[in-house]
Chain A
Protein backbone atom coordinates (compact mmCIF):
# COMPACT_ATOMS: atom_id res chain seq x y z
CA UNK A 1 0.00 0.00 0.00
CA UNK A 2 1.40 3.38 -1.03
CA UNK A 3 1.90 6.08 1.61
CA UNK A 4 -0.32 8.72 0.10
CA UNK A 5 -3.26 10.12 2.01
CA UNK A 6 -6.31 12.17 1.16
CA UNK A 7 -8.77 13.92 3.43
CA UNK A 8 -11.64 14.09 3.69
CA UNK A 9 -12.68 10.80 2.10
CA UNK A 10 -16.26 12.05 1.62
CA UNK A 11 -17.56 15.62 1.55
CA UNK A 12 -21.09 16.92 1.03
CA UNK A 13 -21.42 20.69 0.91
CA UNK A 14 -23.70 23.40 -0.36
CA UNK A 15 -23.22 25.56 -3.44
CA UNK A 16 -20.92 28.55 -3.01
CA UNK A 17 -18.78 27.10 -0.22
CA UNK A 18 -15.00 27.20 -0.34
CA UNK A 19 -13.36 23.81 0.08
CA UNK A 20 -9.85 22.42 0.25
CA UNK A 21 -9.05 18.80 -0.48
CA UNK A 22 -5.89 17.63 1.24
CA UNK A 23 -3.26 15.30 -0.20
CA UNK A 24 -0.06 14.22 1.52
CA UNK A 25 2.60 11.66 0.68
CA UNK A 26 5.46 10.39 2.80
CA UNK A 27 7.54 8.87 -0.01
CA UNK A 28 9.52 12.02 -0.82
CA UNK A 29 8.19 12.04 -4.37
CA UNK A 30 8.83 15.17 -6.42
CA UNK A 31 5.91 14.78 -8.81
CA UNK A 32 2.31 15.03 -7.66
CA UNK A 33 -0.95 14.98 -9.57
CA UNK A 34 -4.67 15.61 -9.18
CA UNK A 35 -7.18 13.63 -11.26
CA UNK A 36 -10.94 13.91 -11.57
CA UNK A 37 -13.01 10.78 -12.17
CA UNK A 38 -16.73 10.46 -12.81
CA UNK A 39 -18.46 7.05 -12.42
CA UNK A 40 -17.65 4.68 -15.28
CA UNK A 41 -15.36 7.21 -16.91
CA UNK A 42 -11.61 7.52 -17.29
CA UNK A 43 -9.40 9.60 -15.01
CA UNK A 44 -8.68 13.11 -16.24
CA UNK A 45 -5.58 15.03 -15.17
CA UNK A 46 -6.53 18.47 -13.80
CA UNK A 47 -3.30 19.62 -12.08
CA UNK A 48 0.27 18.46 -11.62
CA UNK A 49 3.48 19.58 -9.99
CA UNK A 50 7.15 18.78 -10.65
CA UNK A 51 8.18 19.90 -7.18
CA UNK A 52 8.00 22.72 -4.64
CA UNK A 53 6.63 25.98 -6.10
CA UNK A 54 5.77 24.21 -9.38
CA UNK A 55 2.14 23.86 -10.46
CA UNK A 56 0.68 23.25 -13.91
CA UNK A 57 -2.80 22.78 -15.33
CA UNK A 58 -3.64 19.38 -16.77
CA UNK A 59 -5.66 18.23 -19.74
CA UNK A 60 -9.10 18.86 -18.26
CA UNK A 61 -10.03 22.45 -17.55
CA UNK A 62 -10.85 22.92 -13.89
CA UNK A 63 -11.91 25.87 -11.77
CA UNK A 64 -9.86 24.51 -8.90
CA UNK A 65 -6.41 25.74 -7.89
CA UNK A 66 -3.47 23.97 -6.28
CA UNK A 67 -0.36 24.89 -4.34
CA UNK A 68 2.94 23.12 -3.59
CA UNK A 69 4.68 24.81 -0.69
CA UNK A 70 6.10 21.58 0.73
CA UNK A 71 7.23 18.45 -1.09
CA UNK A 72 4.83 16.19 0.75
CA UNK A 73 1.71 18.35 0.51
CA UNK A 74 -0.42 19.19 -2.58
CA UNK A 75 -3.82 20.64 -1.60
CA UNK A 76 -6.58 21.43 -4.09
CA UNK A 77 -8.96 24.36 -3.48
CA UNK A 78 -12.34 25.28 -4.92
CA UNK A 79 -13.21 28.90 -4.08
CA UNK A 80 -16.92 28.50 -4.78
CA UNK A 81 -18.21 24.98 -5.20
CA UNK A 82 -20.98 24.21 -7.69
CA UNK A 83 -22.99 21.04 -8.42
CA UNK A 84 -20.91 20.57 -11.58
CA UNK A 85 -17.89 19.98 -9.31
CA UNK A 86 -19.47 16.81 -7.95
CA UNK A 87 -16.99 14.05 -8.69
CA UNK A 88 -14.25 11.85 -7.27
CA UNK A 89 -10.87 13.55 -6.90
CA UNK A 90 -7.76 11.36 -6.86
CA UNK A 91 -4.30 12.49 -5.84
CA UNK A 92 -1.17 10.67 -7.02
CA UNK A 93 2.59 10.98 -6.72
CA UNK A 94 5.68 9.60 -8.43
CA UNK A 95 9.41 9.93 -8.10
CA UNK A 96 11.38 11.68 -10.80
CA UNK A 97 12.93 8.98 -12.98
CA UNK A 98 14.74 9.19 -16.29
CA UNK A 99 13.82 5.63 -17.28
CA UNK A 100 10.41 4.53 -18.46
CA UNK A 101 9.07 3.21 -15.14
CA UNK A 102 7.35 6.38 -14.02
CA UNK A 103 4.86 4.64 -11.75
CA UNK A 104 2.24 6.79 -10.08
CA UNK A 105 0.89 5.85 -6.66
CA UNK A 106 -2.68 6.88 -5.96
CA UNK A 107 -4.41 8.00 -2.81
CA UNK A 108 -7.84 6.63 -1.82
CA UNK A 109 -9.70 9.60 -3.30
CA UNK A 110 -12.18 12.20 -2.07
CA UNK A 111 -15.79 11.81 -3.11
CA UNK A 112 -17.19 15.36 -3.38
CA UNK A 113 -20.91 16.08 -3.62
CA UNK A 114 -22.08 19.67 -4.07
CA UNK A 115 -25.79 20.23 -3.44
Chain B
Protein backbone atom coordinates (compact mmCIF):
# COMPACT_ATOMS: atom_id res chain seq x y z
CA UNK B 1 0.00 0.00 0.00
CA UNK B 2 1.38 3.40 -0.98
CA UNK B 3 1.82 5.55 2.08
CA UNK B 4 3.40 8.79 3.22
CA UNK B 5 4.27 9.20 6.90
CA UNK B 6 5.35 12.48 8.46
CA UNK B 7 6.95 13.31 11.79
CA UNK B 8 6.59 14.96 14.13
CA UNK B 9 2.83 15.44 14.06
CA UNK B 10 3.27 18.88 15.64
CA UNK B 11 6.18 21.11 16.57
CA UNK B 12 6.56 24.35 18.51
CA UNK B 13 9.70 26.46 18.11
CA UNK B 14 10.79 29.98 19.00
CA UNK B 15 11.14 32.63 16.35
CA UNK B 16 14.59 32.63 14.80
CA UNK B 17 15.29 28.96 15.50
CA UNK B 18 15.80 26.26 12.88
CA UNK B 19 13.78 23.06 12.54
CA UNK B 20 13.64 19.91 10.44
CA UNK B 21 10.54 18.00 9.41
CA UNK B 22 10.65 14.37 8.28
CA UNK B 23 8.83 12.37 5.63
CA UNK B 24 9.03 8.63 4.90
CA UNK B 25 7.22 7.10 1.96
CA UNK B 26 6.53 3.74 0.38
CA UNK B 27 5.09 5.00 -2.92
CA UNK B 28 6.27 3.01 -5.91
CA UNK B 29 7.11 3.55 -8.69
CA UNK B 30 8.34 6.93 -7.50
CA UNK B 31 8.01 10.02 -9.67
CA UNK B 32 8.57 13.07 -7.51
CA UNK B 33 8.22 14.43 -3.99
CA UNK B 34 6.88 17.83 -3.05
CA UNK B 35 6.61 19.81 0.10
CA UNK B 36 3.56 22.04 0.48
CA UNK B 37 2.80 24.74 3.04
CA UNK B 38 -0.83 25.02 4.10
CA UNK B 39 -1.95 27.98 6.17
CA UNK B 40 -5.03 27.47 8.32
CA UNK B 41 -8.16 27.67 6.19
CA UNK B 42 -6.21 27.93 2.93
CA UNK B 43 -5.16 25.62 0.14
CA UNK B 44 -1.65 24.09 0.03
CA UNK B 45 1.08 26.09 -1.71
CA UNK B 46 4.08 24.34 -3.25
CA UNK B 47 7.50 24.96 -1.67
CA UNK B 48 9.74 22.47 -3.49
CA UNK B 49 9.50 19.57 -5.91
CA UNK B 50 12.22 16.94 -6.44
CA UNK B 51 12.60 13.98 -8.76
CA UNK B 52 14.58 10.85 -7.84
CA UNK B 53 17.76 12.33 -9.35
CA UNK B 54 17.66 15.44 -7.13
CA UNK B 55 18.80 15.12 -3.53
CA UNK B 56 18.42 18.72 -2.40
CA UNK B 57 16.45 21.79 -3.40
CA UNK B 58 16.13 25.17 -1.76
CA UNK B 59 13.47 27.86 -1.80
CA UNK B 60 14.61 30.79 0.32
CA UNK B 61 14.77 29.66 3.94
CA UNK B 62 13.33 26.25 3.02
CA UNK B 63 15.67 23.40 2.03
CA UNK B 64 14.34 19.98 1.12
CA UNK B 65 16.43 16.83 0.86
CA UNK B 66 15.58 13.50 -0.72
CA UNK B 67 17.14 10.07 -0.30
CA UNK B 68 15.42 7.92 -2.91
CA UNK B 69 17.25 4.79 -1.71
CA UNK B 70 15.90 4.97 1.83
CA UNK B 71 12.68 6.70 0.69
CA UNK B 72 13.11 9.57 3.10
CA UNK B 73 12.85 13.32 2.75
CA UNK B 74 13.32 16.22 5.09
CA UNK B 75 12.36 19.88 5.06
CA UNK B 76 14.70 22.22 6.91
CA UNK B 77 13.49 25.69 7.85
CA UNK B 78 16.15 28.22 8.73
CA UNK B 79 15.71 31.28 10.94
CA UNK B 80 12.00 30.67 11.47
CA UNK B 81 9.51 33.52 11.33
CA UNK B 82 6.02 33.86 12.80
CA UNK B 83 4.60 33.52 9.28
CA UNK B 84 6.09 30.03 9.05
CA UNK B 85 3.33 28.81 11.38
CA UNK B 86 1.38 26.41 9.18
CA UNK B 87 0.95 22.75 8.27
CA UNK B 88 3.74 21.32 6.10
CA UNK B 89 2.62 18.49 3.90
CA UNK B 90 4.79 15.92 2.15
CA UNK B 91 3.29 14.72 -1.13
CA UNK B 92 4.63 11.90 -3.30
CA UNK B 93 3.62 11.26 -6.89
CA UNK B 94 3.80 7.88 -8.59
CA UNK B 95 4.88 7.12 -12.11
CA UNK B 96 2.27 4.50 -12.72
CA UNK B 97 -0.57 6.50 -14.20
CA UNK B 98 -1.22 9.38 -16.56
CA UNK B 99 -3.08 11.09 -13.73
CA UNK B 100 0.15 11.47 -11.78
CA UNK B 101 -1.62 10.38 -8.65
CA UNK B 102 -0.56 12.18 -5.46
CA UNK B 103 -0.19 10.56 -2.06
CA UNK B 104 -0.48 12.99 0.82
CA UNK B 105 0.96 12.86 4.31
CA UNK B 106 -1.09 14.19 7.22
CA UNK B 107 1.27 17.09 7.67
CA UNK B 108 3.38 18.51 10.48
CA UNK B 109 1.71 21.40 12.28
CA UNK B 110 4.43 23.96 12.97
CA UNK B 111 3.86 26.78 15.46
CA UNK B 112 6.43 29.56 15.75
CA UNK B 113 6.28 31.56 18.98
CA UNK B 114 7.69 35.06 19.39
- Most-contacted residue by chain B among A42, A92, A101 (CB, 10 A): A42
Can you give 30 contacting A-B residue pairs, CB < 8 Å?
Answer: A2-B45, A4-B43, A31-B99, A40-B106, A40-B107, A40-B109, A42-B105, A42-B106, A42-B107, A43-B44, A43-B102, A44-B104, A45-B101, A48-B99, A91-B43, A94-B100, A100-B31, A100-B51, A100-B93, A101-B49, A101-B51, A102-B31, A102-B93, A103-B34, A103-B49, A106-B36, A106-B43, A106-B44, A109-B41, A111-B41
Inter-chain contact B32/A104, CB cutoff 8 Å: no
Residues of A within 8 A of B (CB): 1-2, 4, 6, 31, 40-45, 48, 90-92, 94, 100-109, 111
Name which residue of chain A comes closest to B100, CB basis: A102
